[in-house]
Amino acid sequence: MDPERKKLSDELRRAGISKAAIEAAWPSWWDETLATSPSGRAELRFALARRLGLRSQPLLGERVEFVWNDEARFKHLATEDEAARSAMTSFGMAIGKSLLQSVSEGPAMGAISAERLREALLARRQFADLAGLVSTCWALGIPVIHLRVFPLDAKRMHAMVVHSNGRFAILLGHDARFPAQLAFTLAHELAHIMLGHLADAPALVDLEDPATANEPDGQEHEADEYALTVLTGSPNPTIQTNIDNFNAPTLAQAVRAAAPIYLIEPGTLALCLAYRRQAWPVAMAALGKLYPEVGPLWQEVNGVAAQQINWSELTDDAADYLRNLMGLTDA
């Protein structure tokens, strides 16, 4: 590593930024011969500042300052963790703004009720599921990507909604094993948008899985009910079984049979039962039988994004960075 890169990387690391985020943000055009040029060093700092959400002038003086500090709304983060808040907000806002630049605005539809959204999904699909939610978000002008790089070493965000000039982007972070899990997360984040929870905030960050978070606040509870209505038709679905003891194969068979009757995706039914009965181990095993050959979900989400993003609207530098964040380095 050349001395200039090491010096600047060490400074960013001391500010709490992860090694992975620094490496992803480092411009491909950098060459150690540029370190002898004041203009080369300055351009390097401007590039890193844009990508990581830092103030460029302080970085020229070897000092790291985040653009966004206390403006975002966080769920399930200790109030004293100011450095983490600043790093996550600035990182996410920089990504969201770049992403929105590459995507056309959707139709001017205003807030959409959960019932209306479910009706629209079921008009085209058998169930309200992950694939349907992803495509609907893009149709509404709300880009969705799954991050493969995070700003902090020790704390990942489950998901984040970015708000910029009246538009929104959703950044997923949780590596869910099964589509029904990620479908709930995406529906929950979409709910924050539709319910106006970001009216006075540039971003909202869910650090825990909204499906299993303890003691959700009022907004989280509203977002949960919206998500459940979209996925099941009810904000508080009652899922019952005719037997008290069941195993994973029995549960998988039962939800497959019930799904077309109630128009609820089988995995979502299994998760609802798990929540009601606190039968998480059996339900997760049943999900394994429902999705025996499912691949990495981030590839599915980002595969759609790669087709929807207008890459020509981004500079080569910005496009390279976004591909790094999405795990599309071979694209």
Is pTM, for the whole model, over 0.75? yes
C-alpha angle 117-198-144 in degrees, rounded to nearest 5: 55
Considering the domain architecture, whether residues 125 and 271 belong to the same structural domain is answered as no
Considering the domain architecture, whether residues 204 and 89 belong to the same structural domain is answered as yes
Spatial CB neighbours of 262, under 8 Å, sequence gap ≥ 6:
232, 233, 269
Q: How sure is the predictor about 167, in pLDDT bands with cuts at 50, 70 and 90?
A: very high
Considering the domain architecture, whether residues 155 and 165 belong to the same structural domain is answered as yes
- What confidence tens digit (pLDDT) does each residue in 250-287 have? 999 999 999 999 999 999 999 998 888 888 899 999 99
Would residue 68 count as lying in a domain? no
Would residue 169 count as lying in a domain? yes
Report the number of distinct structural domains present in the chain.
3
- What confidence tens digit (pLDDT) does each residue in 110-148 have? 789 999 999 999 999 999 999 999 999 999 999 999 999
Considering the domain architecture, whether residues 166 and 241 belong to the same structural domain is answered as no
Would residue 67 count as lying in a domain? no
Q: Kindly state the average pLDDT of the residues 187-205.
A: 92
Alpha-helical regions (H) of the chain: 3-14, 19-25, 38-52, 56-60, 82-101, 114-122, 130-139, 179-194, 218-232, 248-262, 266-277, 280-290, 297-308, 316-326
Considering the domain architecture, whether residues 305 and 158 belong to the same structural domain is answered as yes
- What confidence tens digit (pLDDT) does each residue in 37-60 have? 889 888 988 999 889 988 887 777
What DSSP line would sit under 167-214, residue for residue?
EEEEEE----SSHHHHHHHHHHHHHHHHTTTTTT-SEEEE-S-TTT-S
Considering the domain architecture, whether residues 149 and 123 belong to the same structural domain is answered as yes
Range of the domain at 28: 3-60
For the ranges 137-151, 202-216, 312-326, which has the lowest average pLDDT? Answer: 202-216
Considering the domain architecture, whether residues 130 and 211 belong to the same structural domain is answered as yes
Question: Chain centroid to CA 189: how far?
Answer: 8
Considering the domain architecture, whether residues 208 and 111 belong to the same structural domain is answered as yes
Considering the domain architecture, whether residues 194 and 226 belong to the same structural domain is answered as yes
Considering the domain architecture, whether residues 309 and 321 belong to the same structural domain is answered as yes
What is the spatial distance between Cα 138 and Cα 162, in angstroms, rounded to a whole number? 15
Would residue 65 count as lying in a domain? no
Would residue 176 count as lying in a domain? yes
Would residue 153 count as lying in a domain? yes
- What confidence tens digit (pLDDT) does each residue in 66-104 have? 776 666 778 766 544 777 788 888 899 999 999 999 998
Considering the domain architecture, whether residues 280 and 303 belong to the same structural domain is answered as no
Q: Kindly state the average pLDDT of the residues 233-238.
A: 90
Considering the domain architecture, whether residues 252 and 262 belong to the same structural domain is answered as yes
